Amino acid sequence: MDRVALRGLKARGHHGVFPQERAEGQTFIVDLVLGLDTRPAAADDDLAKTVHYGIVAEEVVAVVQGEPVDLIETLAERIAQACLKHGGVQEVEVCVHKPDAPITVPFDDVTVTITRSRA
């Protein structure tokens, strides 16, 4: 299986369990690795035979900006399901970063990474 990766998609969302997170929002960063067969697209040099990563990026940002959820695990699942709606995508790895998580000690990042595939 071939891979198409999008790294560092940034969007502001209002996800989290604390009222301040919901009210003020924060930046979330998403990395994606889409698994698909790119041979048909490469053979014909045809965008219609692969995944349009620009559209995927817009959809992922819309999920992050959309309906708030408590957990970034839930957010990652919603993103994965949106990616799997694209016909050629057989598998997706989603990593959601929450660099401004409300943690009381110094840290660089909090991430949740999931892998989902067509059943």
pLDDT tens for 8-63 read 999 999 999 999 999 999 999 999 999 999 999 999 999 999 999 999 999 999 99
Provide the annotated active-site residues: 98
**What integer pLDDT is reported at residue 60 of this predicted model?**
98
Q: Indicate if the pLDDT at residue 119 is higher than 80.
A: no
Q: With both helix axes pointing from N to C terminus, report the angle between 53-65 and 72-84 in degrees, rounded to the nearest 10.
A: 150
Dihedral (Cα; 7, 8, 10, 16), 10-degree rounding: 90
Taking only Cα atoms into account, the Rg of the chain, rounded to an integer number of angstroms, comes to 15
**Mean pLDDT, range 95-108, rounded to an integer:** 97
d(CA 82, CA 63): 8
CB 54 within 8 A of CB 42: no
Could you tell me whether strands 91-97 and 26-36 are parallel, antiparallel, or unpaired per DSSP bridges?
Answer: antiparallel
Residue 39: predicted pLDDT: 97
